[in-house]
Amino acid sequence: MAFRILITGASSGIGREMAVRLAKEKHKIAITGRREEALRETADQIEKEGGKALVLVGDTTDPQTVIRHYGEIQNQWGGLDWAILNAGISLRNPGTQFSAAAYKKTFETNVLGAAYWLEAVIPDMVKAKNGTIAGIASLAGFVGLPRSGAYSSSKSALMVLLESLRVDLAASNVSVVTICPGFIKSEMTDKNDPRDMVFVLDAEIGAKKIIDAIKKKKRLFYFPWPLALPMAWVLPNLPRGVYDFIARRILKRRLKDGKKC
């Protein structure tokens, strides 16, 4: 059975890999992104693999763009079966150089961008009593990571938003899946210091794990286990003083290493 699927942030990375993998199952896939050329490259791969692509160029932080894009999906396909809310950004913002603008930009994309799409797609899914919503959060949402307050707090907000929705929409037979990956190779993670990334996965592997979790309608899925165990279970349950000590040691070591480089 062919599904009608939305993937936001599909210009590259995990978004593109999910689109290509799902195309092999002959699904109809609407892809969004700001970079038209890159988005059309994704569309070409979708069509090559046997799927049907609908290219929607624009910014998820603009609610009018989201309304227009969903209108195009409704006109073409009548609605959606899956909405995979993948668009996101990560801005490094050390507390010593605190920038409210960095938080604003991060939350506009990672939280409000998802919220605009949720506002668009939920009414039709509730009416049809069918649908799956998947939000791509992060293991970083479980704790406040050093130098990553904007990113960690935005992903935490997305996780709580999706958790609330899961309960609210259960009676309407609309499933809500929260995905919390670790490090996945992409343009976003390419900007990170390799020393800060452990158990990093290729986008192809990450895409497969995410799609499998969506198919199984997992309420909360995090991976890879070697990183998920400390991030999702150990660190959040430590006494705050112990967590602060560990985080300060890691930060101190990174800053020291950085001065040597």
As annotated, the active-site residues are 151
How many whole angstroms from its chain centre is CA 87? 6
Tokens of 46: 């979708």
Burial status of residue 237 (CB atoms within 10 A of its CB: 0-12, 13-18, 19 or more): exposed
For residue 236, say if its preceding peptide bond is cis, omega within 30 degrees of 0. Answer: no
The percent helix, strand, coil of the chain (3-state, each to 5) is: 60, 15, 25
**Going edge to edge, which strands form the sheet with 131-136?**
52-57, 28-33, 4-7, 82-85, 131-136, 174-181, 220-223
Q: Angle at CA 48, nearest 5°, toward 46 and 49?
A: 65
String of DSSP letters for 155-174: HHHHHHHHHHHHHHHGGGTE
Query: Residue 58: CB partners within 8 Å, gap ≥ 6?
Result: 32, 34, 65, 66, 68, 69
Helix axes 100-107, 149-169, angle to 10 degrees: 30
How many whole angstroms from its chain centre is CA 154? 11
Would you say the C-alpha torsion 140, 60, 107, 101 has a positive or negative sign?
A: positive
